Amino acid sequence: MGVIELCNISSICIGRAKPSSLIEGNRRRRITCMASSVSVQEEESHQQKQGVNGGSFIRTHLLKLSPYQPILPFEVLSTRLGRKPEDIVKLDANENPYGPPPEVNEALGAMKFPYIYPDPESRTLRAALAEDSGLESEYILAGCGADELIDLIMRCVLDPGDKIVDCPPTFTMYEFDAAVNGAGVIKVPRNPDFSLDVERIAEVVEREKPKCIFLTSPNNPDGRFSWTKSRIWSFSTEYY
Ligand SMILES: Cc1ncc(COP(=O)(O)O)c(C=O)c1O
């Protein structure tokens, strides 16, 4: 029987093992799921002898990825700092320190069927966004946060070997998601005042024909607004 083992969250081993186990120690977290008649230790030495390990299953470009450093959740931060969550103003992941408006809490508390999957096409939300933006709802995609949408865009358009343009310092997920999809990242660093180096972007676009250009507005970490929609439109019609 197969087993997927998550060690330290950043590495995954696939092999065969006995009963489900959860081992905590030396701050390393090791989770083994599913069952077979061979113990994990026996299997590991078997794999070493055979030269078989997770590396032979996992796509090679993923093995080369540096682990993503996620933020600490509120409860962990609170324990580490020895402060109550209410006394911490957390700004390191672009969260809104004021929380949602009371109407949102009320609406969430009043959900009639919270145990039923929600509408996968987010019809009501998209209709409201369509009314607000003037776009037709067929052109609007709702996701679980911008991260999911960035991931979906890259999965839809990038073949291994394609390229994206990234303008650091900026949100690091563009680079990470590109690497997950086996795409190359062309970096065009921002100017010292965080504005975009438009001439270099144009040069790179003309030469490399990247599939995606990420022009974050407002940018993370500086909050600067980049281009207007019409400027992006004229740039894209000029070069593509
Ligand atoms: C520029 C930018 N895009 C997207 C995200 C992710 O947003 P979400 O929490 O909606 O997934 C962040 C989060 O910090 C961000 O800074």
- Kindly state if the Cβ of 224 falls inside 6 Å of ligand 1: no
b or e along 86-117 (b: 16 or more beta carbons within 10 Å of the residue's beta carbon)?
eeeeeeeeeeeeeeeeeeeeeeeeeeeeeeee
DSSP string for residues in 85-134: GGG----TT---TT-S-HHHHHHHHT-S-TTS---TT-HHHHHHHHHHHS
Q: How confident is the model at residue 18 (pLDDT cuts 50, 70, 90)?
A: very low
Strands (E), the chain: 2-7, 11-16, 21-25, 28-32, 163-166, 184-187, 212-213
Greater model confidence, 12 or 87 = 87
Position 84 scores a pLDDT of 93
Confidence of residue 46 (pLDDT cuts 50, 70, 90): low
Ligand 1 mean position, distance from CA 95 (Å):
9
142 within 8 A of 122, measured Cβ to Cβ: yes
Ligand 1 pocket test: which of 94, 148, 194, 215 has the largest number of ligand atoms within 8 Å of its C-beta?
Answer: 94
CA 133 to chain centre: 26
Q: Does the global pTM surpass 0.85?
A: no
Tell whether ligand 1 has an atom less than 6 A from the beta carbon of residue 145: yes
Model pLDDT for residues 170-223, shown as the tens digit of each residue? 999 999 999 999 999 999 999 999 999 999 999 999 999 999 999 998 898 888
Confidence of residue 230 (pLDDT cuts 50, 70, 90): confident
Residues 6+ apart with CB under 8 A from 1: 16, 17, 34, 35, 36
CA distances from 73 to 8, 85, 146 (A): 16, 10, 19
Where is 150: in which H helix or E strand? helix 145-157
Tokens at 228, concatenated = 């207007």
Top-confidence residue, 39 or 106: 106
66-98 pLDDT per residue, tens: 887 888 888 999 999 999 988 998 887 778 888
Angle at which helix 173-180 crosses helix 145-157, to 10 degrees, equals 40
pLDDT in tens, 160-172: 999 999 999 999 9
Q: Which of 220, 224, 226 to mutate to test the pocket of ligand 1 (most atoms within 8 A of CB)?
A: 220
> What amino acid is encoded at 200 in this protein?
R
- Average pLDDT in the chain: 81
**Interatomic CA distance for residues 75 and 82, integer angstroms:** 10
